[in-house]
Chains A and B, each alone.
Chain A
Amino acid sequence: MAAPSSDSWRRVARDPVLLSAILAVWILLALFVVFPLVELLARAFVDEGKVTLGPLLEIVSNAGHRIALANSLFLATSVGLAGTALGFLFAFTAVRSGLGRHWLTALDAVVLLPLVSPPFTTSISIIFSFGPKGFISHDLLGLGNVSPYGFWSTALAETLTYFPIAYLTLRPILAAIDPNLEEMAFSLGGSRGRIFRTVTVPLAVPGFANAFLLLFAASLADFATPLILGGNGFPVLPTEAYLQITGLFDFKGGAALSLVLLVPAAFVFFLQRYWVGRRTYVTVTGKVGQRSRTRALAPWAGVLLVAGCFAVTALIAYFYGLLVYASLVVAFGANNSFTLAHYHVIFTEGLPAIRDTLIIAAIGMPLGGFYGVLVGYLIARKNFPGRRAMELVAMINYALPGTIVGIGYLIAFNDPPIALTGGAMIIVACYVFRYSPTGIRATVALLQQIDRSLEEASSSLGAGSGETFRRVTLPLIASAFFAGLGVVFIRSMTAISATIFLVSISWTLITVRILENMTELALGPAAAFSVFVIVVVFIVVAALSAVLARFRAPTAGGAARSFLGG
């Protein structure tokens, strides 16, 4: 396609529905993506009307902040490596070990559990297990006075939380490697180990790079885990920025600190999206050869893989079991007698948080779903000037670490002209623009599979562009719409990194209450809240899946997976 010609201008100008949709999206993007980011940059770099690098230099010269930056990068690298290795173990097992379908489904369920859980779940269980009165450290190993805080526990919790991303990235790539390639190498006389090293792994290299970068970004942006498990000895950038603002009310310093995070985050984002994301050696040709059970896996290796997966799965299951158990006893470790008191607490004292969270999720869900489908449709189907720019801007809040987005919103919407701080709408807006890009991408992917002539037929039959969208396009991309709904809902229930800056006395969130409980060492209610969130998310996702299954859209399959994207 050539550059947007005068043709596309004319066409847009003649279609009032399209024109107003494009304008509306741009106004929203300007207001909720560009404006907060500009305000954040201005706060950090403009002093009395002059641009200055002072705050940034101050941070770099501060030894404590330098350590936080180094810690952040070291943690992200460790989690990236460990998570990719773990994700590869699971993906390779799922694809090659020849496990039965039911086993694979069970494996999937356990692996994906961390992705739909509130952020502290693993952290709570690690404290229960490895704390001074921990189940493993104290009861089983007889160690006293162990600290569960620091690099190792943070890295463990993040690895277990984020390795499913690597699993989801690597599994389709490994599945698409043609077994014939390996069989060919086998018939040429290569040993199994040699084939694995020289054929299988090299073919998956772009997948490894992609998985590593995604994990690196996730860990870099993670705020909740290091806040709980990092302790004083292991400060990282997002927690430092948070403390700078909530502890010292130093907006300028917090803004500058969060922007230090922006550099590696942006670097990784562009590397992932424009370099690694487009390199793949595995192509889907539609030509399916004889898919004989591959022989490239030795029996003992298969057993080892399954055993490894089982061990990790058991650890995850143990952590979640512990969480449920801890929510049902008086004080885990000290008094293990059964009680429903914690649930009583969350449904009385904690009720406002539950109510607020559900209201915000309920408002954000349809808005986010519709916004995602609309933007995805415009990007995939309409040729208008500025289309690529819209695609990029719509992705910004999704790619930025939550800390940056949260501080940006806090600064931008604190004062008139648009004072939203303290209300519910600022939290809703934050969720919608941060988590709808999953819906946008799902919509774009689905639309690429739907023949354009369907929409042309509709307009040729006399339907306007709004009507065509509503009656033809929307029903066909319903699965992307519901995937978008699902993601916005899940994140509304579980996110904290951005919204921690946006809660107020009148509007608070379950995740924030969990954090408060943890800092007050009220671990029982924290566990009960977590269990509640997991149950609600599970019910809603199951309901959405059931709705989706009723749609006879041609490509409804595969949408379930996109629930978990991001």
Chain B
Amino acid sequence: MSVQFTNIVKRYGTTTAVCGISFKVDSGTLVTLLGPSGCGKTTTLRMIAGLELPSEGRIEIAGRDVTHLSATQRDVSMVFQSYALFPHMSVLENVAYGLRRSGIAKEEATRQALEGLAQVGLEGYGQRQPSELSGGQQQRVAVARALVLKPSVLLFDEPLSNLDARLRRQMREEIRELQQRLRLTVVYVTHDQQEAMAVSDRIIVMNAGRIEQEGSPRDLYERPATPFLARFMGESNPAKGQVRRLDAARVCVRLGSTEIEVADSSAREGAATVAVRPEAIKVETAPGSANALPGTIAKASYLGTHMEYSIDTAAGTLFATCPRVERPLTTGTQVALVLAPRGVIVVRD
């Protein structure tokens, strides 16, 4: 059951929240809309749900034009950020709500609701009130409530933002596991890049109402197309460099006194912005190898699992992480930096 957006525009009065986006979500995949707050991702999700109607464009779900259908008429269920459990109904009544509304008899609705609760690991919680459950359990009830309707598309709006860090990891694994087990078509909204990478088949990165780039998590991390993406998808150091093409698939990037060969088929020759991933910088004591970039430690912090360094170099101040914590380097130490090609990315200006 695919979702297809064609040239969708959404305006509120004079402001434009979404400016002409097109994308496709394939059946049985989990696609994440990722972006900073105010980028239009939630508006996009709500347009799939039918809670907002587009100002222009066409929406198809499972091959059917639903552009002008209301939320009630669409075969789509949404899990809300606040869970939106009905506080005056028991857990079972909550889960059975949608089933009853679609005309299923009470016994059958109850049976399917119990099945749904079992699917999210909440057997025996049916008679509780939502207020008696923990945050994670409420989240599961909200998922079960949407799931039992067997919707064409299941939507998640920042489902983990009200949970603490540990629970967030567990819940995102559960959601991914459920999606793959039941082969669900899911559209998922988050502003957390790590969460997006952990759950998604594909990620659509949005910025200021437009699609910035879409692709697999690996594509986006390793080949961000714009400086915005390089910053947004994980941490990176913006540096000024010179690009020289070696052949169709490789370029040579010059940063200060060092040169790195990078796999790249599209970068143009000349001055360019280069994103350097902090984990791709190997910090050695000077003088180091011949092709290393010399620098001075400006700041050093111990974070338990790794060290963080700020290093002044000819290519600018670079931020690096280093797993060697047993022999930390102190401020002022002369170092030589070796850059791993995988973490050096030429981005368009």
A457-B78 CB under 8 A given contacts A2-B12, A7-B53, A462-B72: yes
A454-B86 CB under 8 A given contacts A15-B70, A460-B49, A463-B101: yes
Q: Is B24 an interface residue (CB 8 A)?
A: no
Q: Which of B51-109 contact A (CB under 8 A)?
A: 51, 53, 55, 68, 70-72, 76-78, 80-82, 84, 86-88, 97-98, 101-102
A462-B55 CB under 8 A given contacts A456-B80, A472-B86, A552-B87: no
A464 to B129, CA, bound (A): 24
B13 touches A5 (CB 8 A): yes
Nearest chain B residue, comparing its CB with the CB of A468: B72
Partner pick for A7 among B50, B55, B77, B146, CB 8 A cutoff: B55
Partner pick for A462 among B84, B87, B102, CB 8 A cutoff: B102
B14 touches A2 (CB 8 A): yes
Residue of B49, B51, B84, B98 most packed against chain A (CB within 10 A): B84
A554 to B88, CA, bound (A): 8
Partner pick for A459 among B53, B71, B86, B102, CB 8 A cutoff: B71
Q: Is B149 an interface residue (CB 8 A)?
A: yes
Q: Which residues of A contact B84 (CB under 8 A)?
A: 451, 453-454, 456-457
Q: Which residues of A contact B71 (CB under 8 A)?
A: 456, 459-460
Q: Which residues of B contact A561 (CB under 8 A)?
A: none
A464 to B71, CA, bound (A): 9
Q: Which residues of A contact B102 (CB under 8 A)?
A: 462
A14 to B149, CA, bound (A): 24
Partner pick for B53 among A3, A10, A553, CB 8 A cutoff: A10
A166 to B349, CA, bound (A): 66
Q: Is B223 an interface residue (CB 8 A)?
A: no
A1 to B11, CA, bound (A): 12
Q: Which residues of B contact A456 (CB under 8 A)?
A: 49, 51, 71, 78, 80, 84
B77 touches A460 (CB 8 A): yes
A515 to B62, CA, bound (A): 72
How many residue pairs at the A-B interface have CB separations less than 8 Å?
Answer: 81
Q: Is A461 an interface residue (CB 8 A)?
A: yes
| Min CB–CB distance A384 → chain B (angstroms) | 14
B55 touches A476 (CB 8 A): no
Q: Which residues of B contact A7 (CB under 8 A)?
A: 53, 55
A465 to B12, CA, bound (A): 23
Q: Is B277 an interface residue (CB 8 A)?
A: no
Nearest chain B residue, comparing its CB with the CB of A552: B88
Q: Is A386 an interface residue (CB 8 A)?
A: no
Contact residues on A (Cβ < 8 Å of other chain), bracket: 20 to 34
Q: Which residues of A contact B51 (CB under 8 A)?
A: 456, 459-460
A227 to B68, CA, bound (A): 61
A552 to B130, CA, bound (A): 12
Q: Which of A434-478 contact B (CB under 8 A)?
A: 451, 453-454, 456-465, 467, 471-472, 475-476
| Min CB–CB distance A469 → chain B (angstroms) | 13
A459-B72 CB under 8 A given contacts A1-B13, A2-B14, A553-B88: yes
Q: Which residues of B contact A2 (CB under 8 A)?
A: 12-14
| Min CB–CB distance A454 → chain B (angstroms) | 5
Q: Which residues of B contact A464 (CB under 8 A)?
A: 72
Q: Which residues of B contact A463 (CB under 8 A)?
A: 72, 97-98, 101
A453 to B101, CA, bound (A): 18
Q: Is A11 an interface residue (CB 8 A)?
A: yes
A461-B98 CB under 8 A given contacts A7-B53, A456-B80: yes
Q: Which residues of B contact A465 (CB under 8 A)?
A: 72
Q: Is B145 an interface residue (CB 8 A)?
A: yes
Residue of A15, A454, A457 most packed against chain B (CB within 10 A): A457
Q: Which of B217-246 contact A (CB under 8 A)?
A: none
A14-B72 CB under 8 A given contacts A1-B13, A456-B84: no
A467 touches B101 (CB 8 A): yes
A209 to B80, CA, bound (A): 43
Contact flags A82-123 to B (C-beta < 8 A → 1, else 0): 000000000000000000000000000000000000000000
Nearest chain A residue, comparing its CB with the CB of B157: A453
Nearest chain B residue, comparing its CB with the CB of A454: B84
Contact flags B139-156 to A (C-beta < 8 A → 1, else 0): 000000110010000000
A2 to B101, CA, bound (A): 34
| Min CB–CB distance B167 → chain A (angstroms) | 21
Nearest chain B residue, comparing its CB with the CB of A455: B84
Nearest chain A residue, comparing its CB with the CB of B129: A552
B88 touches A475 (CB 8 A): yes
Nearest chain B residue, comparing its CB with the CB of A4: B13
A117 to B149, CA, bound (A): 54
Nearest chain A residue, comparing its CB with the CB of B54: A7
Partner pick for B80 among A453, A471, A552, CB 8 A cutoff: A453
Nearest chain B residue, comparing its CB with the CB of A467: B101
Q: Which residues of B contact A453 (CB under 8 A)?
A: 80-82, 84
A3 touches B87 (CB 8 A): no
B97 touches A458 (CB 8 A): yes
Q: Which of A526-552 contact B (CB under 8 A)?
A: 551-552
A461 touches B80 (CB 8 A): no
Nearest chain B residue, comparing its CB with the CB of A459: B71
A460 to B52, CA, bound (A): 12
B82 touches A14 (CB 8 A): no
A2 to B15, CA, bound (A): 9
Residue of B53, B76, B81, B101 most packed against chain A (CB within 10 A): B101
Taking Cβ atoms with an 8 Å cutoff, the residues of B that contact A are: 11-14, 49-51, 53, 55, 68, 70-72, 76-78, 80-82, 84, 86-88, 97-98, 101-102, 129, 145-146, 149
A-B contact pairs, 28 of them (CB 8 A): A1-B13, A7-B55, A11-B53, A14-B68, A451-B82, A453-B81, A453-B84, A454-B86, A456-B49, A456-B71, A457-B86, A458-B86, A459-B72, A460-B77, A461-B146, A461-B149, A462-B72, A462-B98, A462-B102, A467-B101, A471-B97, A472-B86, A475-B88, A551-B88, A552-B87, A552-B129, A553-B87, A554-B87
A-B pairs with the 4 shortest C-beta distances?
A2-B13, A461-B98, A457-B84, A453-B84
A sample of 4 more A-B contacts (CB under 8 A), given A461-B149, A462-B72, is A2-B12, A2-B13, A11-B53, A454-B84
